[in-house]
Structure 1
Amino acid sequence: MADQMHFRNTSLTRTAIAALLLCLSIQTFSACTNETAVKKTTGGYSYVPPVPAPTPVDSRVQNYSVTLLDGGGSKFADLIGNDKIVLVNFWATWCAPCRREIPDLVNIQRELRGRGIEVLGLTVEDPGRDLDKVREFTQKYGINYRIGFSPMEMFMAVNGKDPRGVIPQTYIFDRKGKLIDSARGFRRDFKDWVLAVVEQAEKES
């Protein structure tokens, strides 16, 4: 069935996956604040690139088709790169930590769009069942960036060897589509981290 996937050789429905993600998101609300990539200095924040460099996203991810909320669809490979720095945020309407990030994402899109930087929000919900709910949610929260639906198989491929499937997750790609850095779970310094990563990417581009 289309709404089923195999996870550690067990067939799970999207509902079961959603419940798992919800539990993990709650658990990581204060625990998964991976803030090692940014250090405080007297002048504010300075970016410390991850060591070793981030492992490239599984090549299979590039070929997955993403259903877009504003209509149509596109391969993931066509949504990143193209001479733009793209912040990809995996989320869901029921995820409390994800909702906390939305104001920052809205501000980032508004403040940085003129510099060739875009935010792409990919919900792990089902477009066949949750399209209207997601559309109403984006209107309620004033979301000004592109929204799409990530196939569950694509989301799990992005997670690679880490099967936890925690959300929110954020991946920042440079202008050529190369992964620069990522964050799993909610982090208190989210916007500062994003701005620092983007600044580093601009220096290298």
Structure 2
Amino acid sequence: MKARHLLCLGVTTFVLAVTSSMRAADGDAEWQKVNEIVEGVKNPKEKPKTREEAIGMLKKGITEFDAAYAAALKAGPSNAARWDAALFEAMTGRVREVAGIPAPAKPAISLDDIVKAADAKAETKSQASLVSVMESAEAAEAPGGDLAAWTAKAEKHLKDFPDEKMNQMVEGKLKSIKASADLKTKPLELKFTAVDGREVDVSKLQGKVVLVDFWATWCGPCVAELPNVIKAYKELHAKGFEIVGISLDQDKAELEGFVKEKGMEWPQYFDGKGWQNEIASKYGIQSIPAMWLLNKKGMVVSTDARGHLEEAVTKLLAE
């Protein structure tokens, strides 16, 4: 019995030693460092006090991640931790733009690789699929893009990963693309009672150029764009330019006070539902400001009039 016990103990010790050696060889230490850096970027111990400080922290974190990720891939190319790191890398695109750090020309591991990986966590695969769907939407919506293929991809994601927490993003984009397709076939139908009691029916504005402005008082970019909107309205309203506001605010008094203070004379739709605003939801609006321009026939000819509003309106008025 004693000999058998010693033999078992010897085998166990040998197995543990081999396992430990395999783990070390598979780069556990390097991947742990990657994980610590990722956590530091996501949840910094000290919150930045200024935008400049925040950008500096992001730049430092992403730079450290890139170096650690490359080292970990070299030390442990088959370690399952690689899938989470690859997902993080794929999700840093906008952050890299802000921090001024170029993205790799070709990722070592693609989002599709993560989705197909047998040893990736279900949550990681789900998130990778979501990111892949949303990233490909922009190309699909561009001139010459394949919306049918993107729609099939999006629907497959929803079927394969029905429990993904952020699926409302995909569902909203599907709704937005369908709504955009419908907008190209007939004049916009939009009727409501404005917050000040005015009755609005966009179909009765045909013959004029109309801006449908999805915005909110709490939206920084919306407020930043407002001077340009007011300027265009003052200069072109007499020539046939109208604006219809769709407010995603939740506080009616705050909206009314803001509109009065800024001298915004056009009607505003308000239902107090924020991002669940009924008109915005109907058309799949996921970010604001969303500025739609209607030509004199009531057709939506642009869903991105921000930054060149006056020029675009002047051109449409001349048609």
Q: Tell me the TM-score normalised to structure 2 length.
A: 0.38
Q: Which residue in 1 is equivalent to 2:85? A: none
Match status 1:133 vs 2:260: no
Match status 1:153 vs 2:271: no
Q: CA deviation at 1:177?
A: 0.4
Number of equivalenced pairs: 141
Give me the identity figure in percent.
24
Match status 1:109 vs 2:109: no
Q: Which amino acid aligns with 2:213?
A: N
Q: Which has the higher contact order (CA 8 A, sep 6+)?
A: 1
* Structure 1 unmatched runs, 5+: 1-26, 32-49
Q: Which residue in 2 is equivalent to 1:74? A: 200
* Structure 2 unmatched runs, 5+: 1-93, 99-141, 145-179
Q: Which amino acid aligns with 2:278?
A: E
1:143 corresponds to which of 260, 264, 268: 264
Q: Give the whole-Å Cα distance in 2 for the aligned partners of 1:181 and 1:144.
A: 23
Q: CA deviation at 1:114?
A: 1.3
Q: Which residue in 1 is equivalent to 2:304? A: 183
Q: Which structure shows the higher helix fraction?
A: 2
CA distances 1:1-39 after superposition (whole Å, capped 9, x unpaired) = xxxxxxxxxxxxxxxxxxxxxxxxxx8xx98xxxxxxxx
CA distances 1:134-165 after superposition (whole Å, capped 9, x unpaired) = 11011222223332226723212223xxxx61
Q: Which amino acid aligns with 1:197?
A: A
Match status 1:121 vs 2:245: yes
> Considering only aligned residues, what root-mean-square deviation do their CA atoms show, in Å?
3.2
Q: Give the whole-Å Cα distance in 2 for the aligned partners of 1:76 and 1:84.
A: 10
Q: Give the whole-Å Cα distance in 1 for the aligned partners of 2:270 and 2:200.
A: 11
CA distances 1:78-121 after superposition (whole Å, capped 9, x unpaired) = 4xx32110011100111111111111111111000111011222
The 5 Å alignment of 1:1-205 reads 51=143, 55-57=181-183, 62=189, 65-78=191-204, 81-126=205-250, 130-149=251-270, 152-159=277-284, 165-183=286-304, 187=306, 190=307, 193-204=308-319
Larger Rg: 2
Structure 1 runs (4+) greater than 3 angstroms displaced:
58-61, 72-78
Q: Which residue in 2 is equivalent to 1:19? A: none
Q: Tell me the TM-score normalised to structure 1 length.
A: 0.57
